[in-house]
A and B are shown apart, each in its own frame.
Chain A
Amino acid sequence: MTSTVEEPAAEAQAGEVAVRLRGIGKRFPGVIANDDINIDVRRGTIHAIVGENGAGKSTLMKILYGVQPPDSGTIEINGEQVTLHSPADAIKAGVGMVFQHFMLADNFTVLENVVLGAEKLHGIGAEARAEVMRISDAYGLDIEPDRLVEELGVGARQRVEILKVLYRGARIVILDEPTAVLVPQEVDELFGNLRGLKKEGLSVIFISHKLDEVLRVADEITVIRRGTTVRTVTPDQVTARQLAELMVGSELPSPSTETSTVTDEVLLSVKHLSLPGPESRPLLDDISFDIHKGEVLGIAGVEGNGQAELVESIMGMRPGATGTIELTGTDLSSQSTRERRDGGIGYIPEDRHRHGLLLDAPLWENRVLGHQDRPPSAKGILIDKRAARADTERIIAEYDVRTPGPDVLARALSGGNQQKLIVGREMSSDPILLIAAHPTRGVDVGAQAAIWTHIKTARRKGLAVLLISADLDELIGLSDRIEVILRGRLVGTFDPDDVTPEQLGSAMTGAGE
C-alpha cells in the first residue's frame, strides 16, 4: 500500500483550513517516529485521527500541542506558520488538548478547576463565573460550577476538561481517546457536545481507535500507519472494516461468529463468593456462577465494580474471600496461587506492567514467570534457560511479538507486543481455564484479532474462559454468556446473540434498576 496523500479535494466547500500539517517528522528512540505527516483540519469540522497503537498518533498530538518540537515539517494554524515551543504557545495559538487521563483537582469545585492556572484571563471572581456559564450555555456543556469535582461522574469530568480548554480560548480542541472511559450513553452525550463545538465554528481533532465511533462522529478521518499518513477519507467512503485494514495495512482475518462449543461439564464453579470491603459495602457480594468446558463467560461492568477483586480471589492473590471456588470439582480455597496456576489456570492480568511482566528482565525470563516449576522453564530445581529461550522464540513467532530476540528487556517492547507475549505465555501451558482481564486493552487491531483467534481456537479445544473486558464489542463477540457486575454483585445475565451495547451499558450503570 502506498502512502500517497490525497489532497483533500473538498477543501473549498467546507470552511477554510484551521490546522495544516505538512511533512511533520519526528524520530526518537523506541517509538516509531512520525514521518511525512500531512493533515488538513478544516474549521467547523470533527477530524478523526486513527491508527494502531504506536502508529505515532500521540507523538503527533504532542507536537501539535507544543510538548515536543518536530524534527521537520511545518505547522500552520489559520494560515499562519507557527513554531510551538510549549503548551503555552499552543494555547496562545488557540490549540487546546483534553488528555485521556483527566487533570483535575478532586477537592476543588468545577469553577476553581477551570480557573486554576488561568487566573489572568478573567480573574477568579464573578467575571470568571460569568464566562464559565457563558461557555457552558453556548456549547451545551451543562456545567454546575459549584459542585466538587470528586462528586462528578466520568462524563461530567470530561465536560469540565473541555470547558477548561475553551475557557483558555481554544478554537482547536484535541481529544485523546475521549471515549475510552465512557459507557455508551455517555459517549452519545459527548458526541452531542462535540457537534455543538463544531456548530460554533471550532475544530475538533478526535483521536481514537474505536472505528465505529469515529465513523459516527467524524467529518473526515485520517489514517496513520507507522508514523505516516496513509489516507484521509470521509465516513461515507469507508466501512469500519476498510478503515481497520487501512490501519493495519493488510486484510483482517474474518471475525466470523462460531458455533457454540459449550459442554455440560462444569469446569469452574464459584458459589457465594463474598469479599468484605474496607467500608461497610462488600467488594464482592454473594457471587455465584459456573463456567463449562469450552465456554467463554464474559463479565461486563464499569471499572471498579469488583472485577479485579473477583479475578484476584479466583487466583488466590487476595485473602479474605468467603464462599467456595471449585476447579474441576477440586476446592481451591486452601490452594496457593502457585498451586492454582499449576492446576491449569492461565492468567492474563488487567495491568500487565504491575502483574504481568518483569519490565527489567529479558523476554525469556518473562516467559518463565508464572511457570517457574514446569517444563520447559524448569528442570528439577534449576531454570532451564535454553529451553525457556527456545520456547520464547516459539511464542515470538506464533504470536507475532515484534522484537529482535528473546534477550531484549520487556520494557523495550511496545504495549501491544508485551501483551502478545503474555497471552502467548499463558496459553503455552495448555490451561484448562483462562482468566483474561482486558486481554486486548491497548493492543492494536492486528494483534487484537490474533489474540481473539487464539482464544477461540483454545475454546474449541475445551478451554473455559472468564473474560473481563471494558470493550463491549469484544465481550459480545467472544462470550457465550455475559454477566453484568455492579457494585460487587452480579446483576444480570445476557445472551450475547441478542443484546446491544446500549442494553449492557444500562445494566452496567444500574440504570435499569
Chain B
Amino acid sequence: MTPRMTKFVLAISAPLLALAAAFVITSIVLAAAGDPVLDVWKQILSMPERRNVANIIDNAMVLYLSGLAAAVGFRMNLFNIGVDGQYRIAAFTAAVVAGEAWLPGYLNTALAIICAMAVGAVWAGIAGVLRATRGVSEVISTIMLNAIATALVAYLLRKASVRVEGSNAIGTKVIPEGSRIPNISIGSGPGQEIYGFVVIVVLVGFLYWFVLNKTRFGFNLRATGRSTTAATASGINITRMVVLAMLISGAVAGLVGLPILFGDSYQYGSTFQSGLGFAGIAIALLGRNHPIGVAVGALLFAFLNEQSNPLQILVGVSPDIVAITQGTIVLTVVISYEIVRRYGVRLEQQAVAKALVPEPREPEEANA
C-alpha cells in the first residue's frame, strides 16, 4: 500500500469504527427497552425518498455551517460551545435587517448576511477577549453567553416583532420576496427543492479549507492549536490569534440560521429552529475538523434525523433513539480516532525505523 493509501484508509477507518460501535450500543439500548431492533434499523437505513433527500440536504447545510464554526475553534484548541447562542442572535439580527429592507433586493440580503456574521463574531469575540486578556475559559463564558443570547433574543423579539395572523406565534417582519434566496430544484415533484443558500455553504467550506491549509494565517492558527509554547517561540502572537479565531468562529456561526431564514421561514420567530449549535460540535468532532469530513458528518446526522422521524408511526419507537445514536457516535468517535491515531504513529515510526536501518535483518532468532 502506498503511504497515501494507508493514510486514507486510516482516516476513514476511524469514523467507520465509531459508527459501528455506536450502532451496536444503540441496538443494546433498544433491545434492553424491549423495542424491535431490526425494524428500527430497517426504517433508519432504508433508502430515503426524493422528498426526504431534499430535507436531508437542507438540514445538512445548516449542520455543516455549525460544524465548521466549531471546527475553526477546535483547530486552535478553543472550545466554542457558544455556536448555539451566536447563531440565534445572528439569525435574529439578519431577520430584523432583512425585514426592514433598507436596501433593495439582494443588496438587502447581502447586508443582512454581513450583519449576521458581524453579530456572531462580536458575540463570540466577547469570549475571545475574555480568554485572551483575563484567561477566562472560553467554555464557561460561551455557555453563559448562550444563556444571555437566549434571553436577549426573547426580549428583543417582543420589541421587533409583528404578530403572525391567526396564531399566537410572534416573529420579525417577513423578508420581502425580492430579498429571499430562491430554492434550487433537485427533482420534479413538490418539496424536491433545496435551499439556494447551498452556494454560500459550499463557498464557506472552500474558504475554510483554503484559509486554514494554504495561508500563513491558517498555519499560525494550526500551529497555535498544536502547541502554544512552540507557537509563541516561533513569534506568533497568541493573544491576537485567540481573539481572531473566536471572531471567525462566531462569524461562521452567524451564518448557521440563514439558510432557513432566507429559504424557508423568511422571518425569525419564537419557533425558529434551536439546538443547531450543539450538533455542530459533535459533527466537527466526527468530521475531524476536515471540510469534507464535516460535510459527511453533517449529512449523516441530517440523514439520521430525517429517517428517524416516522419511527413513532411505523414501529412505535420514539425518534429520540437517534439522539442516543448521535450522542454515542461522539463518544465512540473520540475513542476510535485516538486508537487509529496511535496505530498510525506506530506505523510511521516503523517506517522511520526501517528507513534508518539500511539492511533489515531477519528476525530468525526470535522464533528459534
**Residues of A with Cβ closer than 8 Å to B?**
23, 25, 27, 29-32, 35-36, 71-73, 226, 315, 317, 336-342, 347, 349, 354-361, 365, 368-370, 372-373, 378, 381-383, 385, 402-404, 407-409, 411-413
A25, A385, A402: the one contacting B355 at CB < 8 Å is A402
B223 is an interface residue with CB less than 8 A from chain A: yes
B345 is an interface residue with CB less than 8 A from chain A: yes
- Report whether B345 and A412 are in contact in the complex, using a CB–CB cutoff of 8 Å: yes
Chain A proximity of B30: nearest CB distance (Å): 38
10 A-B residue pairs with Cβ-Cβ distance under 8 Å, sorted by A, are A23-B365, A32-B356, A32-B357, A337-B234, A354-B227, A360-B226, A372-B220, A402-B352, A402-B355, A404-B354
From residue 226 to 270 of chain B, which have CB atoms closer than 8 A to chain A? 226-227, 229-230, 232-237
Binary flags per residue of B202-233, CB closer than 8 Å to A gives 1, else 0? 00000000000011111110110011011011
CB nearest neighbor in B for A349:
B233
Assuming the A-B contacts A35-B361, A383-B216, are A370 and B353 also in contact, with contact meaning beta carbons closer than 8 angstroms in the complex?
no
Interface residue count on the B side (C-beta < 8 Å): 38
Chain A proximity of B242: nearest CB distance (Å): 16
A97 vs B82: C-alpha distance in the bound complex, in angstroms? 52
- Report whether A404 and B351 are in contact in the complex, using a CB–CB cutoff of 8 Å: yes
A315 vs B229: C-alpha distance in the bound complex, in angstroms? 13
B214, B226, B345, B349: the one contacting A358 at CB < 8 Å is B226
Binary flags per residue of B328-368, CB closer than 8 Å to A gives 1, else 0? 00000000000000000111111111111100010101101
- Which residues in B have their C-beta under 8 angstroms from that of A370? 233-235
- Report whether B234 and A381 are in contact in the complex, using a CB–CB cutoff of 8 Å: no
Q: Looking at chain B's contact residues, is the secondary structure mostly helix, strand, loop, or mixed?
A: helix
Assuming the A-B contacts A36-B365, A369-B230, are A411 and B345 also in contact, with contact meaning beta carbons closer than 8 angstroms in the complex?
yes
Given contact pairs A31-B353, A372-B220, a sample of 4 additional A-B residue pairs in the complex whose CB atoms are under 8 Å apart: A226-B357, A336-B237, A404-B352, A412-B349
- Which residues in B have their C-beta under 8 angstroms from that of A385? 214
- Report whether B353 and A29 are in contact in the complex, using a CB–CB cutoff of 8 Å: yes
- Report whether A382 and B216 are in contact in the complex, using a CB–CB cutoff of 8 Å: yes
- Report whether B356 and A338 are in contact in the complex, using a CB–CB cutoff of 8 Å: no
- Report whether B356 and A356 are in contact in the complex, using a CB–CB cutoff of 8 Å: no
A114 vs B37: C-alpha distance in the bound complex, in angstroms? 60
CB nearest neighbor in A for B213:
A383
Assuming the A-B contacts A29-B350, A30-B350, are A71 and B356 also in contact, with contact meaning beta carbons closer than 8 angstroms in the complex?
no
- Which residues in A have their C-beta under 8 angstroms from that of B232? 317, 337, 355
A402 vs B358: C-alpha distance in the bound complex, in angstroms? 11
- Report whether A408 and B220 are in contact in the complex, using a CB–CB cutoff of 8 Å: no
Chain B proximity of A267: nearest CB distance (Å): 20
Chain A proximity of B323: nearest CB distance (Å): 32
Chain B proximity of A261: nearest CB distance (Å): 28
- Which residues in A have their C-beta under 8 angstroms from that of B346? 29-30
- Which residues in A have their C-beta under 8 angstroms from that of B350? 29-30
Chain B proximity of A439: nearest CB distance (Å): 15
- Report whether B219 and A365 are in contact in the complex, using a CB–CB cutoff of 8 Å: yes
- Report whether B216 and A356 are in contact in the complex, using a CB–CB cutoff of 8 Å: no
- Which residues in B have their C-beta under 8 angstroms from that of A369? 223, 230, 234
A273 vs B135: C-alpha distance in the bound complex, in angstroms? 28
CB nearest neighbor in B for A378:
B216
Chain A proximity of B206: nearest CB distance (Å): 15
CB nearest neighbor in A for B347:
A29
Assuming the A-B contacts A25-B366, A30-B346, A404-B355, are A355 and B233 also in contact, with contact meaning beta carbons closer than 8 angstroms in the complex?
yes
A64 vs B232: C-alpha distance in the bound complex, in angstroms? 41
- Report whether B366 and A71 are in contact in the complex, using a CB–CB cutoff of 8 Å: yes
A402 vs B356: C-alpha distance in the bound complex, in angstroms? 6
- Which residues in A have their C-beta under 8 angstroms from that of B3? 407
Assuming the A-B contacts A27-B363, A30-B353, A411-B345, are A383 and B215 also in contact, with contact meaning beta carbons closer than 8 angstroms in the complex?
yes
